[in-house]
Amino acid sequence: MTSDTNRRRRVLGRFLLGTAALIAAGCSAAPTIHTEGNPSGESKAAAAMPSIEALYTKQEHMVPMRDGISLFTAVYVPKDDSQRYPILMVRTPYSCRPYGPRKYRKRLGPDRQFALDGYIFVYQDVRGCYMSEGEFVNMRPHIDEKVSTADVDESSDTYDTIEWLLDNIPDHNGRVGLWGNSYPGFYAAAGMIDAHPALKAVSPQAPIADWWFDDFHHHGAFFLPHAFNFLASFGRARPEPTTTRGPRVDHTTPDGYQFFLDMGSLKNANERYLHGEIAFWNQIVAHPNYDAFWQARNILPHLKNVAPAVMTVGGWFDAEDLYGPLNIYRTIERDNPGIFNVLVMGPWRHGGWNRTSGQTLGNAFFGAETAYEYQRDIQRPFFRRFLKDEGDLDLPEATVFETGVNKWRSFDQWPPRDVATRDLFLHAGGGLSFDAPSAGERFDEYVSDPARPVPFTTDVARGMTAQYMTDDQRFAARRPDVLVYQTDVLETDVTFAGPIIADLWVSTSGTGSDWIVKLIDVLPPGTQDHDFVRDGMHMGGYQMMIRSEVIRGRFRNSAEHPEPFVPNEPTRIWLPLQDVLHTFQAGHRIMVQIQSTWFPLVDRNPQKYVHNIYLADEEDFITAVQRVYCSGEYPSQLHVLELEDDR
C-alpha cells in the first residue's frame, strides 16, 4: 500500500497543484453576473458601430528587442486625442493581419465593444512568425536567470515591447494590459513573469500551460487529428518574413475517422503526407515521453514574480485547453500570494466567450447568452478598472458557471470550501453508487480491437469537433467494447465541484493499453427538446458528457519513464479528469463509461508495448481483453468533491 500511496501523492501533486491548500477559505453563493438587459441587443449594437478606420489610426512598426531582432507590431491609436489611453496588447503566432497601414482589422480587443471604450490597441507577430524577424520556437522555454542580452524569451520580448511603446507611442496613460486566447494565451501568461512595471492587467484566456498535456498529449495519449491538422500547416518552416500561412493537408475526404484509419501506423504520417518537412512533428516523434524537451515547454514552474492583476479565463467544454487555465490560475494563486488573481470558467468551447453567444454548444443549452454576460459584466470591467481606474470591480476569487442547472456561481476560492470528498464506486454488471462493493473478485471485461476503434463522435469531421465534449454518448454505450455504469434515478440533486480522479483497477491481456473514462449526465426519458436541439436529435434520455479524459497506460506511474503492463495482472491507474461544477438533478442518473479506444481523437495504441508508438509497425497492433475490477479487494471508483452549501 505504500507504493500506491506515494503514487497517489505524485499524481495529485502534479495535476492538482496544491488543490488541498486552496480548500481552506470560504465561499459565497451570491452570483456576480447580472442577467438583466438584452445581451443580443448589445451584440447587435456592436455590430452596427462605426468602422475601425473611422475611429482609429493605424501604424506599423518594427520594434527592436534587446538582442537586435525586431518584431512586427501594428498599433491602432484612437483619433479622439482629447484624453490619454491605456495600451491593450496581444502577442500572437497566428498573424496580426491585415498588413499595410491602410488595412484595418474588423474589430479590436477581446470583444467588439472594446473599440468603443477607447484603448491604444497593439498586435504583434511573435519572434519568427509572419513579418517578425528571428527564429520561431514553439512554446519557447522560459529563462529564469538571464545573464546577457542573448538570453531572450517571451517574458523579455514582452518587456522590451512595452518599453518601446511607452517611449514611442504618444498619448498613452502609462498603463498596459495584455491578453490572448489559446496560443496567445500562453504569450500573455509568459509576459506577466518579471513584468514591466507598466503592465497592470493580464488575462490569459484558454492559455497553453504545458504542451505535453495541453492540445497534444493527455496523460501521454496523443490527440492525433488536432496535432496533425494543426502542425501540417502551422508547423511549416518560415525562412523569411511572410504575410501568408502554409498550405493545409488535402484529406480528400470529409471523413476523418476513415482518413486516419487508412493512414495506419503513425509513422505513415511522415511517409505519406508530411514528408519530414514539419520540424515539430519530427520532434514529437523523437520525444515520445515527458523528457527535458517537453519539461522545458511547461510554463507553470516559472509563474513566479507575477505582479499585475490576473484574470484567467477558460471554458468547461474547451476541447483544446482546459488544463491550461485551471492550472495557471492554481499556480499563480499558490506562488504569488497577495496579488489580484481570479478565475472565470463558463460553459464554453475554445474561445467561445468572445466568439459565440455562449447560449448553446452542440445540443447543450445553457439558458442564457453567457458569453455576452461575461463580456459585459466581467471582461470589460476588469480592464477598465486596472487600466483606466473606471468603475467598480467586485469580482470574487472564482466566477464559475454551474452546468446542469445553468447558473453563475461566485466563490471566494476554487475549489470551494464547502465540499465533501466522496467516492463513487463502480459495481460489476453496470452499477454505480456511493456504496463500496462487497468482498469477492468481480470484474467486467471487453475486447478492444485497434482495427475497429470506438469513435469519439457520430459527426463526420476531419478533426476534433468543437462540441464533442457535450455530445450524446448513447452511440458509445451501445458498443460491446465500452463498459457502462450508472446510478439509480437520483432522488436529490448531486453537485460535483472541483477536480475528479478516476481510481481504477484494470488489467489487459496485452502489454500496452489506453484507458478512457467519461462522466455523463443521463437526462430523464421524458426530457423535452429545447429550441436549439439539432435536427434528428432528442433530449429524452440524452447522455451528456460532462467530463472525459484518457491516459496512456504506459505512463500510469511516470510520464518520464514508461513501463509495460504485466498481462492479466490487476493494476491500479490514477486518472485525473480535471475540474467540473455540475449538478446532476433529481430524476437524472450519473453514468460512467470506460473504453480503450477513442478514435481518431486519440491515436490507436498498439496494445502491445513498443518503445515508440509513433514508429510502431502494423503487426504491432493486436486485440486485447480488458478488465475493470469492481471488488472489495480491487475497488474501481471516482474520487469527487460534492458541494454541500445551501446555494
pLDDT at 425: 98
Which of the four pLDDT bands, split at 50, 70 and 90, describes residue 46? low
Whether residue 317 has pLDDT greater than 50: yes
d(CA 440, CA 539): 39
Characterize 125-145 residue by residue with b for buried, 16 or more Cβ atoms within 10 angstroms of its Cβ, and e for exposed: bbbbbbbbbbebebbbbbeee
pLDDT at 429: 96
**Mean pLDDT along residues 23-51:** 48
Residue type at 32 in one-letter notation: T
> Worst-scoring range by mean pLDDT, 369-378, 431-440, 523-532?
431-440
List, for residues 191-208, the tens digit of each pLDDT value: 999 999 999 999 999 999
Helix axes 256-263, 224-234, angle to 10 degrees: 80
Instruction: Tell me the backbone φ, ψ of residue 460, rounded to 5 degrees.
Output: -95, 110
pLDDT at 42: 54
Which of the four pLDDT bands, split at 50, 70 and 90, describes residue 83? very high
- The mean of the pLDDT values for the chain is 92
Q: What is the DSSP string of 264-299?
A: -STHHHIIIIITT--HHHHHHHH--SS-HHHHTTB-
d(CA 299, CA 319): 20
Whether residue 21 has pLDDT greater than 80: no
> Worst-scoring range by mean pLDDT, 30-34, 107-111, 475-479, 601-605?
30-34
**Mean pLDDT along residues 91-117:** 96
Domains and CATH numbers, the chain: 39-211+297-411 (3.40.50.1820), 217-237+244-295 (1.10.3020.10), 418-643 (2.60.120.260)
More confident residue, 26 or 116: 116
Instruction: Say how many CA atoms lie within 13 Å of 100 toward its Cβ.
Output: 6
With contact defined as beta carbons under 8 Å apart, do 91 and 145 qualify?
Answer: no
> Worst-scoring range by mean pLDDT, 6-20, 135-149, 248-262, 410-424?
6-20
pLDDT at 49: 79
**Mean pLDDT along residues 507-534:** 97
Whether residue 647 has pLDDT greater than 90: no
Whether residue 74 has pLDDT greater than 90: yes
**Mean pLDDT along residues 363-390:** 97
pLDDT at 440: 78
Whether residue 434 has pLDDT greater than 80: yes
With contact defined as beta carbons under 8 Å apart, do 156 and 121 qualify?
Answer: no
d(CA 213, CA 223): 10
d(CA 557, CA 313): 31
d(CA 270, CA 276): 5
pLDDT at 2: 43
Whether residue 70 has pLDDT greater than 90: yes
**Mean pLDDT along residues 210-222:** 93
d(CA 479, CA 465): 21
CA end-to-end span of the chain:
39
pLDDT at 441: 75
Range list of β-strands (E), 316-418: 341-346, 360-361, 364-365, 398-402, 407-411
pLDDT at 439: 81
**Mean pLDDT along residues 279-305:** 97
